[in-house]
Amino acid sequence: MELELSVLIILGGVALAAGFIDTLAGGGGLLTLPGLLLAGLPPVSALATNKLQGTFGSGMASLTLLRLRRFEPAALKGAFIASLLGAGLGTVLVQVVHTDALETLVPVVLAGIALYFLLTPGAGHVTRAPRLATRPYERGVVPLIGFYDGFFGPGTGSFFSLAGVALRGQDLITATTHAKALNFASNIASLTVFVLGGKVLWSVGLVMACGQILGAWLGSHAVLRGGARLIRPLIVVICLLMLGRYLLR
């Protein structure tokens, strides 16, 4: 499938904006996936191509934050693998089952995330004692979110950030940086399954990847400069926008 140059340029711009937003708050797919569908891609190809460009974005964000020493890879090894496995299983299943149940569940979860950050203004300002130990978090929560990303996707970064703050007691910047690494893992697994299935439209995905890389690089630096003051309202806004999308479709 070939797209006109003007459409590719627009999609690249959309990916740039999405990469920036996704790095700070998650939900970049709210821009890119509809853009791909409006460009005329079949739904499965749109999902697969969206994963390609999203993998470049989360990869750039993770690499930039790693270079800035915002997280230690060794500390995330178990969670990284858990996210990989969960997303791989989710991507396999999404190609053979319907997602109708998630269409009902996701709006409820998004509303819950928005309300959590609205009604608990102190959450994420400082590190607190974990409410969930490392092992059950890595073996239960992380693969479940990874599975969701492979199976459906929207809001995964916000889910990982919320889990880090609410369950692991992390400050919001730490939770956001960890979320990018875990989202990168789930993107890798999901993309691999889609590539093996021949679902990716490479020309479109690689053009958008260029925009994602720049947007994610800018977003990574914005995370550190804006801190929780910038991340918190963006998470709330993105969750509410995604909620509106589900309710009005």
Average pLDDT, the chain: 84
Contacts of 217 (CB under 8 A, 6+ apart): 60, 61, 64
Amino acid 216: pLDDT: 92
Confidence band (pLDDT; 50, 70, 90) for 116? low
Q: Tell the burial category of 119 from Cβ atoms under 10 Å away from its Cβ (0-12, 13-18, 19+).
A: exposed
Q: What is the C-alpha to C-alpha distance for residues 95 and 110, in angstroms, rounded to an integer?
A: 24
Is the pLDDT assigned to residue 228 strictly greater than 60?
no
Highest mean pLDDT pick, 22-26, 152-156, 213-217: 213-217
62 pLDDT more than 80? yes
| CA–CA dist 203, 97 (Å, integer) | 28
Name the pLDDT band for 146 (thresholds 50, 70, 90).
very high
- Pick from 87, 31, 22, 32: which is nearest to 61 by CA? 22
Work out the average pLDDT over 12-38.
Answer: 82
Tell me what pLDDT residue 98 has. 61
In the structure, what pLDDT confidence band is assigned to residue 52 with cuts at 50, 70 and 90? very high
pTM for this prediction: 0.81
Q: How confident is the model at residue 81 (pLDDT cuts 50, 70, 90)?
A: very high
**Helices 5-25 and 202-248, packing angle to 10 deg:** 60
In tens, the pLDDT along 126-139 reads 567 888 999 999 99
Question: pLDDT at residue 223 above 80?
Answer: no
Show me where the domains of the chain are located: 5-248
pLDDT band of residue 105 (cuts 50, 70, 90) is: low
**pLDDT tens digits for range 229-248:** 666 677 677 777 767 766 77
Q: Which of 121-125, 133-137, 154-158, 244-248 has the lowest mean pLDDT?
A: 121-125
**Is the predicted pLDDT of residue 95 greater than 60, yes or no?**
yes
